[in-house]
A and B are shown apart, each in its own frame.
Chain A
Amino acid sequence: CAEILARSNLAGVRHILLVLSGKGGVGKSTIATELALSLRHSGKKVGILDVDLCGPSIPRMFNVQDNDVHQCDSGWVPVFVDQDKSISLMSIGFLLEKPDDAVVWRGPKKNALIKQFVADVAWGDLDFLIVDTPPGTSDEHISTVEALRPYKPLGAILVTTPQAVSVGDVRRELTFCKKTGLRVLGIIENMSGFVCPHCSECTNIFSKGGGEELAKHAGVPFLGSVPLDPQLSQSLEEGRDFIQEFPKSSAFPALAHIAQQILDGTSPQSS
C-alpha cells in the first residue's frame, strides 16, 4: 500500500485542502481561486482540482477556459495558468467539446470521473492541492473524500454567507466533515457587508455575522469575513490576478489573512 501511495500521482503533493459549503453560490470557487493566487504570491506551487462537474467555474476564473488537457505517460497533464507552472488546474471544463454542453450525469458517472481525477492527473510536485466542490453532501463529496482518504487531506475550509439560510446549510456540512473524519480548518464568512464606492456607506446586503457566530457555536476556527467587493467579482469575470492587481481593494486584507493562516498552520514549526 505504501508503495502504491509512493508511486501515485499525488505522491508529490504536500497538503490537500477541500473547499466546501452546503450552500450554493457562497464563493467556494472564489475562495479556492484567491487562496491559490495568494499562496502563489508567497512562493508556493498550487494545484486546483475542480470536482464541480455540472457547473465548473475554475477555468474561467483563471481565464484559461479554452485550454485542453493533454496526456502523458503518467496520466493527464493539468492546465498551467502561467509560464512558471506555479498554478495548475484540472476541471471538467477542459474536457468539454463545447463550453455550453450540459453534463447530464447521474451519480455513478460523476463518481467515476472524480476517481479518475484523483488518480490520473500528473500534478508533479505541489505545496498545496485545493479541491473546489459543488454545494451539498452527495456523490461528488462522498467520492472525493473517499478517493483522497489514503492521501490524508489536511482538512476542509467551509464557506458561508452571513444569512441564516446559508448558515443552516453549512451546519449540515459540518456534520458531513465530522462523519467523514475530515478536519475543519475553519469557516469563512463571505459577502459580508458592502461598502458603497460612492459614499462609503456600509450596507449588509446579505446580513452580517452569521458565519462568525456559527464558528463560535461549532467550536471551529473563524478564518475571517470577506466583504462584497465589485473589484473582486470583476477580476474573477476576467480571470485576472486580484491578489497581484488590487492590494488596495476592500476584500484584499481578509483574503490575504486567510492565506496567511493556512500558511501558518502548515509551516514546519506548527506541525
Chain B
Amino acid sequence: MAEVAGGPRPEGEGARRRRAAPPLPQYLCSSSLFPLQTVPGPAAPRRAGPPPARDAPTSGSARPAPPLPRTRVREAPGGRGQPGWAGPCGGGASRGGRGRALPLTVVAPVSPAAEAAELRARLRSVKHTVLVLSGKGGVGKSTFSALLAHGLAADEAKQVALLDIDICGPSIPKMMGLEGEQVHQSGSGWSPVYVEENLGVMSVGFLLSSPDDAVIWRGPKKNGLIKQFLRDVDWGEIDYLIVDTPPGTSDEHLSIVQYLSAAHIDGAVIITTPQEVSLQDVRKEINFCHKVKVPIIGVVENMSGFICPKCKNESQIFPPTTGGAEKMCQNLNISLLGKVPLDPQIGKSCDKGQSFLSEVPDSPATSSYRSIIQRIQEYCDLQHFQEEKTI
C-alpha cells in the first residue's frame, strides 16, 4: 500500500534537478489510448480485464455527473447517445485488454472508503490548498499558478507545492524552467521536481519522454493519474498546495475536488480576461464552484489593457464590452483580487522558465501580481485561524 510518508523533506541540493530514468514514461506511453510505444515498461504491472475496482468512483458511469441543466430540446432524436456510452475507443473501461493498472505501489483493489482514508492520510500534511480555475482557455491560469507558487515560496520558511493537472496541455514544466526533468521514485512514492528547496512541482510533463508525446486519454485515465499525483507523490509537509487546471468543468475539475475533499480546499482563484467571450465561460466556472461547494477566493482579471511602450497610449485588445471582471464580480458578489495588464515580458519570462516577478520586479504587472498574491495569503491565513477557532 502507498504509505503515509513521514513527511520527508526534499533531500537538499542533491534532490534538485536530479535526473533519473524511472519506469514511469513507459507506463504512461503504453497505457495511452493510442500507444506511443509498444514496448511495455518493465515495472508496469500488466493487467488484463477491467480496470481495478478502485477506479470505479471516478468513472462517469459509476458516479454520474449532474444532469445537463434542463435542455430546451424536448426529446433526443433516435434515442441515441445514452449517457454512459463510452465510445468505440473509450477509456480504460472499454479497452479491457489494454487497460493497465495505474498504481505503482498498490496493485490490489481498494475500497472507496479505504481509498479516501489513504488520500486523507497523505494530504494530512497539507495546510492550504488553492485551485486556479477558469472556464476559458489561455487566460493565464498557468502563468498565475506559477507566479503564485514563486511568490509564496519567496518566504523560505514556507513549503510550497505546485501541482499541474492539465494532463493534455501541461505548461508548468516550461514555465518553471523544468522542461526535460523527470520524476523519480523513492521508497515513499514519486518525488516532485524541485525548483527551490521549498518549491516542489509535479506535472504529467515530467512523465513524457519527448516534447512530441501526446497524452491521448479519456477521462478515467486522466482521473487515475490525478489521484496518483495526490496519493503516490511524496509531497512532504506542505504549507501551500497550488493546483493549476485546464479550462472547463469536467473530469479533471470534478476529480480534483473529489479527491481533495479528503483534505480541505481553502478556495479557488478564478482567472479571466476582460472580454465577454471569456466572462461567459468564467460565470460557468463560478457556478461550478458553487455546485461543488468550493469557496471562491476571488477573481483576477488578466490581460486588461496594453500600454504601448512607445507612445504610452492604452489599447483594449480584449475589450471589456460588458464591464469586464469588475462588473461581473459586482453582479455575482465575489471579490475582484486585482487586474494585471498585458506585458510582453510576461510571455517571455514564461518561455524562458523564469519568474517574471524577479525578472521584472518594478513593472505595473509585477506590483499587481504581488498585491494579489498577498491577498490570497491573507485569505488563507484567515481560513487557518478560523479553523483553529472551531476546533
Q: Are A24 and B169 in contact (CB under 8 A)?
A: yes
**Does A64 make an interface contact (CB < 8 A)?**
no
| A105 nearest CB neighbor, chain B only | B65
Q: Are A102 and B291 in contact (CB under 8 A)?
A: yes
| In the complex, chain A residues 221-237 whose Cβ is within 8 Å of any chain B Cβ | 228, 230, 233-234, 236-237
For the complex, what is the distance from the CA of A189 to the CA of B281, rounded to whole Å? 24
Interface stretch, picked from B42-50, B122-130, B184-192, B341-349, is B341-349
For the complex, what is the distance from the CA of A120 to the CA of B188, rounded to whole Å? 51
Q: Are A112 and B82 in contact (CB under 8 A)?
A: yes
Which one of A111, A119, A161, A166 has the greatest number of beta carbons of chain B within 10 Å? A111
Q: Which of A54, A68, A165, A207 is close to B344, meaning CB atoms less than 8 Å apart?
A: A207
Contact residues in B for A82 (Cβ distance below 8 Å): none
Q: Are A24 and B308 in contact (CB under 8 A)?
A: no
Q: Are A134 and B248 in contact (CB under 8 A)?
A: yes
Q: A107-B219, A165-B142 are in contact. Are A54 and B250 (CB under 8 A)?
A: yes
**Does B298 make an interface contact (CB < 8 A)?**
no
| B74 nearest CB neighbor, chain A only | A71
| A22 nearest CB neighbor, chain B only | B169
Q: Which of A60, A142, A171, A174 is close to B33, meaning CB atoms less than 8 Å apart?
A: A142
| In the complex, chain B residues 214-228 whose Cβ is within 8 Å of any chain A Cβ | 214-220, 222
For the complex, what is the distance from the CA of A17 to the CA of B342, rounded to whole Å? 32
For the complex, what is the distance from the CA of A168 to the CA of B347, rounded to whole Å? 14
Residues of B in contact (CB 8 Å), total 96
Contact residues in A for B219 (Cβ distance below 8 Å): 106-108, 138-139
**Does B14 make an interface contact (CB < 8 A)?**
no
Interface stretch, picked from A37-45, A124-132, A196-204, A253-261, is A196-204
Q: Which of B77, B83, B218 is close to A112, meaning CB atoms less than 8 Å apart?
A: B83
Q: Are A24 and B76 in contact (CB under 8 A)?
A: no
Contact residues in A for B318 (Cβ distance below 8 Å): 233
For the complex, what is the distance from the CA of A167 to the CA of B306, rounded to whole Å? 23
Q: Could you mark each residue 184-219 of chain B with 1 if its beta carbon is under 8 Å from any beta carbon of chain A, else 0? A: 000000000000000000000000000111111111
Interface stretch, picked from A93-101, A241-249, A262-270, is A93-101
Contact residues in B for A94 (Cβ distance below 8 Å): 72
Q: Are A119 and B248 in contact (CB under 8 A)?
A: no
Q: Are A180 and B254 in contact (CB under 8 A)?
A: no
For the complex, what is the distance from the CA of A10 to the CA of B215, rounded to whole Å? 30
For the complex, what is the distance from the CA of A115 to the CA of B277, rounded to whole Å? 26
Q: Which of B66, B215, B250 is close to A110, meaning CB atoms less than 8 Å apart?
A: B250
**Does B98 make an interface contact (CB < 8 A)?**
no
Q: Are B169 and A23 in contact (CB under 8 A)?
A: yes
Contact residues in A for B344 (Cβ distance below 8 Å): 203-207
Q: Are B174 and A54 in contact (CB under 8 A)?
A: no
Contact residues in B for A22 (Cβ distance below 8 Å): 168-169, 214
Contact residues in A for B75 (Cβ distance below 8 Å): 71
Contact residues in A for B348 (Cβ distance below 8 Å): 207
| In the complex, chain A residues 133-151 whose Cβ is within 8 Å of any chain B Cβ | 134-139, 141-143, 146
Contact residues in A for B288 (Cβ distance below 8 Å): 102, 104
For the complex, what is the distance from the CA of A141 to the CA of B87, rounded to whole Å? 12
Q: Are B69 and A101 in contact (CB under 8 A)?
A: yes
Which one of A109, A112, A113, A236 has the greatest number of beta carbons of chain B within 10 Å? A109
Q: Could you mark each residue 53-79 of chain A with 1 if its beta carbon is under 8 Å from any beta carbon of chain B, else 0? A: 111010011000000110100011000
B328 → A minimal CB distance (Å): 10
For the complex, what is the distance from the CA of A146 to the CA of B291, rounded to whole Å? 32
Q: Are B68 and A163 in contact (CB under 8 A)?
A: no
Q: Which of A69, A95, A207 is close to B68, meaning CB atoms less than 8 Å apart?
A: A95
Q: Are A103 and B69 in contact (CB under 8 A)?
A: yes
Q: Are A55 and B218 in contact (CB under 8 A)?
A: no
Q: Which of B87, B309, B351 is close to A143, meaning CB atoms less than 8 Å apart?
A: B87
Q: Are A60 and B283 in contact (CB under 8 A)?
A: no
Contact residues in A for B72 (Cβ distance below 8 Å): 68-69, 94-97
Q: Are B251 and A107 in contact (CB under 8 A)?
A: yes
**Does B136 make an interface contact (CB < 8 A)?**
yes
Q: Are B71 and A97 in contact (CB under 8 A)?
A: yes
Task: Mark B residues whose CB is within 8 Å of A.
Answer: 33-34, 36, 59-61, 63-66, 68-78, 80-91, 135-139, 142, 167-169, 171, 174-175, 211-220, 222, 246-251, 253-254, 273, 275-278, 280-281, 283-285, 287-288, 291-292, 306, 308-311, 313, 315-319, 321, 342, 344, 347-348, 350-351
Extra A-B contacts (14), CB below 8 Å, given A146-B89, A165-B351 = A100-B284, A102-B285, A106-B251, A112-B84, A135-B169, A135-B247, A164-B351, A165-B350, A168-B174, A198-B311, A198-B313, A207-B351, A230-B316, A237-B321
**Between-chain CB contacts (< 8 Å), 13 pairs:** A24-B247, A25-B136, A25-B278, A54-B284, A107-B60, A112-B83, A120-B78, A135-B168, A142-B216, A203-B344, A204-B344, A228-B317, A233-B318
Task: Mark A residues whose CB is within 8 Å of B.
Answer: 22-26, 29, 53-55, 57, 60-61, 68-69, 71, 75-76, 94-113, 115-116, 119-120, 134-139, 141-143, 146, 161, 163-166, 168-169, 171-176, 179-180, 194, 196-199, 201, 203-207, 228, 230, 233-234, 236-238
Nearest 5 pairs of A and B residues by beta carbon: A24-B137, A25-B138, A107-B219, A101-B69, A106-B60
